[in-house]
Structure 1
Amino acid sequence: MLTASYHKYILNFKQASGTSRGVLKTKETWFIVLKRSGKKGIGECGLFRGLSVDDVPNYEEKLKWVCKNINLGFGILANELVAFPSIQFGLETAFKSLESENKFELFPSEFTKSKASIDINGLIWMGSESFMKQQVKDKISDGFKCIKMKIGAIDFQKEINLIKSIRQEFSAKDIELRVDANGAFKKEEALEKLKLLSDFDLHSIEQPIKQGQTEAMAKLCETTPLPIALDEELIGVFSVTKKQELLQTINPQYIILKPSLVGGFKGSDKWIKTAENNNIGWWITSALESNIGLNAIAQYTFTKQSNLPQGLGTGALFTNNFDSPLQVKNGTLQYNNNLKWKFNL
């Protein structure tokens, strides 16, 4: 007999982390735990308040319904959860966990055997100019070859000055630089800002304007001097037809996939196939999950064999994360089997 339960958990940031949408101090997440014949499976429903399409009042009710009807099986439940991508992700992970020999080894590979690693970008949070500059120096000294800066919250000229100072010290050969505006630019001023940013040999900019402005984003992607990566734009686009329409209309240079926000691994697979069919690049990032969700995303990501740095370096952000074999070292995410899982759920 298969049984299921769900649990809420609040992750606490080590330090308040700034984005253009505000300052994050805590991150709410939920877990689904499956039990059958003495075995346990666990999955994380990485709800992101204010960003997830399933940030709705009846979210917990939907989790209750899933647990009550768990014996319908993943296929039927997933079809009923199209509008709840984070629950799709948690449920898909929980079933994979239940069915695996080791509940945390979901996609066995050279990565989970500690024989290979994943190149990742170092994340630079918003704050004062001096705070951001110090983060950059720390990431470079930690061996990162690619860093991603959140921009759009402080004065734009200060951000330009910061990027300029980084480039004066470190060339594009020394460090690949990505920026993420989280939709902070107004559409009327976006192209001019992209022109200014393009002077600094950046890899790309994520989501320069708010999602939902399809025509404006398409025009921006057509005329931009700097490669654009869609991120929030993908949220809430459920059918394969709509995915195709969006990518063919906007024709971005890249898309960024967050499995918790786009319907788990199956949802990510559909986006990847659609992107590749349209010659659009992609990479995968976490969405501030705990190490349980991050572990699942990292293992899945490794199987995709992307040659770009991924956005998976978020495990050390929280004071009360779960101990795991995941380890960031020399700008890579590694799976150190000498480290053990430790959690209470």
Structure 2
Amino acid sequence: MNVETREFSLPLESPLATARGSVERRDGVLLRVEDDGDVGLGEATPLPGWTETLAECRDAIAGLDGEEALDELELDDRPAARHGVALALADLRASREGRPLYRWLAGSDAPERVESVPVNATVGDAPQDETVAAATDAADAGFEAVKVKVGARPVAEDCDRVRAVRDAVGPDVELRADANGAWSREQARRAFEELDAVGVAYVEQPLPAGDLAGLADLRDDFAVGVAADESLAGRAASEVLDAGAADALVCKPMALGGPDRAVEVARWARERGVAAIVTTTVDAVVARTAAIHVAAALPDLPACGLATGALLARDLGPDRARVVDGAIGVPQAAGVGVADTWGAR
């Protein structure tokens, strides 16, 4: 088996403002594995805070060769690198079997055909009028769920932003908020009191990643749900579930170490009565399309955070997964369905 790598750097169309800072570009490594004429592509696009750094990812991938070495590589502390390797092998094997990746990932539970999966729109931190305009545009485009980034502003200001969005989009659009772990317990309780009245479905990571007890208390005291995101970085999902810290797990394949791991965690969460929501880390087209396959392998998911391709000013190759009326199309070609990406520039 031959392994090739290529580094890339992709600017965002405009910076994505979050409570953890602004994301302006995505840097990573594209992998190509070839064996007996069969080819698989993988992508490792680290995001510090969720994964290792780019330098650590690059070092983990360097010098890989041979299918056995790839399969046995210990990369549990390098989730983005493991994602790239696992995805390349999964793409190769699904392509070899002539099946789209989602049916290969689902195994014996594979659905016959999944045409699309529901997705949410993501609205970054911005002044209230810009936030409302972006959310209104999303609702007009057919999105039935809108996620608003919060946590970078005073709690009262963020609650006013979300309330204004609710007034603008009406009661039928599901509202979500994402604090990226920015609030203290006191701030989170003040926010939840306000967001409960606005009808927010859940808040992603309202408290710092390690405060599982605080997350559990919020669940006990408010109708607003709690979704764990950063709490899964470097921590077993079982620890979050055993602590009663989440109504939903945000399953980022890049942060969990690969599409196979994301499917495994999502299935386990659902068995425990906890929702699973598949999202990207604003990845390039190979990993983003693979995340769509992960969602398609899991029946009846809530709207997922997969409509992130438009956030990039340019990409590694053409995007064949279109968003129409709040749902994103699932490629039906063998493997991931982005086989021509390696040669694109």
- Give the TM-score of the pair, scaled to structure 1: 0.88
Identity percentage of aligned residues:
20
Measured at CA, do residues 37 and 212 of structure 1 come closer, stay the same or move farther in structure 2, by a change above 3 Å?
A: same
Measured at CA, do residues 145 and 58 of structure 1 come closer, stay the same or move farther in structure 2, by a change above 3 Å?
A: closer
Match of 1:326 in 2: 321
**What SS does structure 2 have at the residue aligned with 1:152?**
coil
Match of 1:305 in 2: 299
How many angstroms apart in 1 are the aligned matches of 2:134 and 2:239? 39
Which of 98, 102, 122 does residue 107 from structure 1 map onto?
Answer: 102
- Equivalent AA in structure 2 for residue 188 of structure 1: E
Runs of 5+ consecutive residues of structure 2 not aligned to the other structure: 105-109
Moved more, 255-264 or 317-326: 317-326
Q: Deviations over 1:167-199 (max 9, x none)?
A: 2233332x1111111011112321122111111
**What SS does structure 1 have at the residue aligned with 2:302?**
coil
How many angstroms apart in 1 are the aligned matches of 2:130 and 2:240? 37
Instruction: Say if 2:87 is the partner of 1:96.
Output: no
Runs of 5+ consecutive residues of structure 1 not aligned to the other structure: none
- Equivalent AA in structure 1 for residue 37 of structure 2: G
Measured at CA, do residues 112 and 126 of structure 1 come closer, stay the same or move farther in structure 2, by a change above 3 Å?
A: farther
Q: Is the 8 A contact 1:104 1:295 kept in 2?
A: no
* Mapping of residues 1-345 of structure 1, within 5 Å: 2-48=1-47, 50-55=48-53, 57-65=55-63, 67-68=64-65, 70-77=66-73, 80-101=74-95, 105-108=100-103, 116-173=115-172, 175-237=173-235, 242-321=236-315, 322-335=317-330, 341=340, 344=343
How many angstroms apart in 2 are the aligned matches of 1:44 and 1:94? 8
How many angstroms apart in 2 are the aligned matches of 1:35 and 1:295? 20
Measured at CA, do residues 293 and 20 of structure 1 come closer, stay the same or move farther in structure 2, by a change above 3 Å?
A: same
Measured at CA, do residues 231 and 153 of structure 1 come closer, stay the same or move farther in structure 2, by a change above 3 Å?
A: same
Q: Is the 8 A contact 1:195 1:225 kept in 2?
A: no
Q: Is the 8 A contact 2:27 2:54 kept in 1?
A: no
Q: Give 1:143 deviation, angstroms.
A: 0.9
How many angstroms apart in 1 are the aligned matches of 2:95 and 2:72? 24
How many angstroms apart in 1 are the aligned matches of 2:331 and 2:35? 28
Q: Deviations over 1:123-170 (max 9, x none)?
A: 111122222111111101111111111111133323222222222233
Moved more, 213-222 or 25-34: 213-222
Aligned residues: 333
Q: Give 1:315 deviation, angstroms.
A: 1.0
